[in-house]
Structure 1
Amino acid sequence: MQSHSTGRRYVLISTDCHAGADLRDYKQYLEPRWHEEFDHWADNYFDLWGDIDTESEWKAGVSSYMSPLNWDSGKRLEALETEGIAAEVIFPNTVPPFFPNGALAAPGPRNQAEYERRWAGIRAHNRWLKDFCDQAPGRRFGLAQLLIDDIDDALAEIRWAKESGMRGVLLPSDHHLKLHNLYYAKYDPIWALCQELGMPVGRHGSIVGSDEERDSVDVAHACGVYETLYFGQRTLFQLVFSGVFDRFPDLRFTFTELGTGSWVLDQMPVLDGFARGARVPGTIPEMFAGEAISRLKLLPSEYCRRNVWVSSLLIGGDVQRRADIGMDRLMWGADFPHHEGTAPHTRKVLRGLLPGVPEDEIRTLLAGNAAELYGADLDLLQGVADRVGPTVDEVATPLRPDEVPDDPAFAYLGDNRDGRRISIAGT
């Protein structure tokens, strides 16, 4: 077969990976005044999500906090390289000190005592993550977690993150037990500082279960999975309608693992329609939203295209709609090391998604946009990719039905086993 390769191996930068310290390893990153209380907390820690996906080597996100892939640097690099991944943007995964469960499943602090302990735990995680990233220079890009109950604390942590080489900040997730109304003007100093320092700020999908009644855990799991997209996606209209992107035009906001990349595109005409309706005198939207909308200089869709980046698995039509979403705003993420992510089938996933897509566009989706947003050195990473990355020919080769893994987590490529659909890109 004649080769149609036109370039070197692909650089893969996953903009959705997860890591964290083993539970007791966080102690060394806490201030000494917390050590005794930490020991008591660690001795009695129990996670309601721990019994999910117990049969798989690759654990579901909410239970993967037990895997050494979170903290064993050498083992993690080996696993990522097997998948062809050269670099990663790292979100939290394990359980910070004094949390009831992982940071992407727990509600925010609901009183001052909870805040003080959770904030100590968040800061411990951030300092651990800084050290973890330093073990693989240029290949790990850490995002500093924030709590935003105390603005001064948050601002100090953002400054520390920038000085320490972190590549962005992560807002706390919304949860039915603790909402954060990001349209509040009191958060403007956070947006201003992130804009000033060039720090991307964003949100990641979360599982919004409840820790209040153990007899209802199964229903909490079901409702949490169903609600997860809503609690993250509400961020978009809050930032747009409150004028955050108007006041801070250079703010870069990322949405990660909050549905397919297409969801922002689908929201644009809805938000534009609401904004236009709020400018029509005498209408219900104008009565309630007219004053706020009148302060916006642009349409909501224009803010989305200027200020918003989206990271996803590139499923559910993302590849077909990539030009409409914005080739400069869409990024690929493997969701490593979660069972619902691409590992251990990343190379096959890419073959299922990307045949027929031009090489330059594949490079943009798999690495280019991420490198620009998070400041990665593509020349350095190309050296890694030349050793471990997938070739142009490999990704261009459509997946055959007999190659589809017998793994339910692979289902997002469609039911390929009967030959009806081999590539999402062609559906």
Structure 2
Amino acid sequence: MVTADDRHIVISVDCHGGAPVLGYRDYLESSYHEEFDRWAAAYEVPYEDMKGEEGSRNWDSDRRLRDLEQDGIVAEVLFPNTVPPFFSTASLASGQAAVRNAEELRRRRAGLQAHNRWLADFCAMAKGRRSGVFQVMLHDIDAAIEDIRAAVDSGLRGGVVLPGAPPGSGLPPLYYHDHYGPLWETCVELGIPINCHSGGSGPRTGDRREDDMFFLMEMKWWDQRTLRHLVLGGVLERYPGLKVVFTEVGVGWIPALLQSMDRFFDSARTPSGLAGEGVTYHGSHVIDQLSLRPSEYWKRQCYVGASFLHPSETAKRELVGVDKIMWGSDYPHVEASFPYSREAMRFAFAGVPVDETAAMLAGNAAGLYGFSLDGLRSAAGRVGPGRGEVAAGVDPATLPPAAAKCPAFAGAMPGAATTQMGDNRKVVEQSRNAPKIA
């Protein structure tokens, strides 16, 4: 018999939600209602998992609580999912690209403001158990800061989801550009993180199948590029209080990239510009402005939201930092670990010391996203997975065939995803098949 004290507290740092299209109307400023009515009358929801019975998982508060508790989860970090007013696709997929004029920027900002207001109310329905990640447009940085302050004042503590700024977006594509300085400064002042979520950073280059393939292959590269910009571009040096989270991008790539950046840093710091295996850099004045090695900035300021955490990644936890890894289920997406999250935790954390597992399942996220572990303990005592159960692992042969949809079980059972690329195909379909706004 597992007692309440023997259960893990579990916080998923990668969940998604949003209002149904018409549910945003009351959250828009009234001056937009006529425009919204015209837009909504012609709009068709482009995603099957947001229609019918399954769609309500995004906005039905009671259903979410039941589903998550069934999965052993007592709290969640909420990223956007549904389509906000005046967008043609989910904003996480469309990012900041193709804002054609000031009028469209005005409408889109209003749409994101409506989402943020809805999100604040939705989080309040399960006080202490939801932390909402809010959205801004970065073309007008002063307006973005105004929206950040409004979101925090409304009670949202999940921080900003960093919009993509690929070439063609109308934004400086380099995050170390001075344009973004006030954004970093405001987040430090308010004590909220910047969140980089997979699929939001890279550009769409076309609609051919080859374009789809390279979008998927390069998706992680764009997130790695963001980390390089923030570290080697001096952002984390200039803003030592800034916290950055990389979510749904995997874990395995982090040690190699940090090692590569450390070698580059060490090479640039030598008088000859050469070190060891011969990375060269001439003009080290840029690197000379950094007081820490890249891996030290990671340890001081960065985290990973490890959706679909795999045993091969858990094995690298010391290289990444046990205090930097946070677990996520990706609910309610098709590839989410729901309703097999208990099994996913057992698969990922088999044999891992209990205190380390507790940190990755809840402790790290609590500190970053403003959850109270004491406040969550009662619910966890009812529904949390047993500590011994998680440490004991799971025999993949006992998993139901339907679990193969989730990349958390990659390679463990017939039909399971073999890479994290498969779970991101929805981003391609969202971008390619969505209707366009006239």
Q: What's the TM-score once normalised by structure 1's chain length?
A: 0.87
Q: 1:390 aligns with which of 378, 385, 393?
A: 385
Q: Distance in 1 between matches of 2:203 and 2:195?
A: 23
Structure 1 position 9, deviation (Å): 1.0
In structure 2, the CA distance between the partners of 1:394 and 1:63, relative to structure 1 (3 Å rule), is: farther
Q: 2:394 aligns with which of 395, 399, 414?
A: 399
In structure 2, the CA distance between the partners of 1:18 and 1:246, relative to structure 1 (3 Å rule), is: same
Structure 1 position 175, deviation (Å): 4.3
> CA deviation digits over 1:140-169, x for unaligned, max 9?
001111221111111112212222221112
Q: 1:153 aligns with which of 143, 157, 160?
A: 143
Return 78-87 or 227-236, whichever deviates more: 227-236
The answer (yes or no) to whether the contact 1:65–1:95 under 8 Å persists in 2 is no
> What SS does structure 2 have at the residue aligned with 1:17?
strand
How many percent identity over aligned positions? 41
In structure 2, the CA distance between the partners of 1:390 and 1:43, relative to structure 1 (3 Å rule), is: same
The answer (yes or no) to whether the contact 2:204–2:215 under 8 Å persists in 1 is no
> What SS does structure 2 have at the residue aligned with 1:380?
helix
The answer (yes or no) to whether the contact 2:205–2:211 under 8 Å persists in 1 is no
In structure 2, the CA distance between the partners of 1:123 and 1:417, relative to structure 1 (3 Å rule), is: closer
In structure 2, the CA distance between the partners of 1:189 and 1:253, relative to structure 1 (3 Å rule), is: same
In structure 2, the CA distance between the partners of 1:174 and 1:134, relative to structure 1 (3 Å rule), is: same
The answer (yes or no) to whether the contact 1:207–1:224 under 8 Å persists in 2 is no
Structure 1 position 413, deviation (Å): 2.2
Q: Distance in 2 between matches of 1:403 and 1:298?
A: 47
> CA deviation digits over 1:272-315, x for unaligned, max 9?
1222233345659533x622212111111111111101111322
1:243 aligns with 2:241: no
Q: Which amino acid aligns with 2:326?
A: M
Q: Distance in 1 between matches of 2:245 and 2:257?
A: 15
Equivalent positions of 1:16-35 (< 5 A) are 16-35=14-33
Q: Distance in 1 between matches of 2:119 and 2:105?
A: 21
1:172 aligns with 2:166: no
Which ranges in structure 1 are unaligned for 5 or more consecutive residues? 419-427
In structure 2, the CA distance between the partners of 1:95 and 1:6, relative to structure 1 (3 Å rule), is: closer
Equivalent positions of 1:15-414 (< 5 A) are 15-46=13-44, 50=47, 59=49, 67-108=55-96, 109-167=99-157, 168-175=159-166, 177-178=168-169, 180-206=173-199, 216=207, 218-258=209-249, 260-280=250-270, 283=273, 285-287=280-282, 290-313=284-307, 314-315=309-310, 317-407=312-402, 408-414=404-410
Q: Distance in 1 between matches of 2:325 and 2:95?
A: 29
Aligned length: 402
In structure 2, the CA distance between the partners of 1:46 and 1:228, relative to structure 1 (3 Å rule), is: farther
Q: Distance in 2 between matches of 1:130 and 1:337?
A: 19
> CA deviation digits over 1:251-276, x for unaligned, max 9?
11111112x22322221111112222
Q: Distance in 1 between matches of 2:244 and 2:204?
A: 30
Which ranges in structure 2 are unaligned for 5 or more consecutive residues? 274-278, 415-438
Q: Distance in 2 between matches of 1:236 and 1:400?
A: 36
What is residue 422 of structure 1 aligned with on the other side? none
The answer (yes or no) to whether the contact 1:105–1:207 under 8 Å persists in 2 is yes
RMSD: 2.6
The answer (yes or no) to whether the contact 1:107–1:177 under 8 Å persists in 2 is no
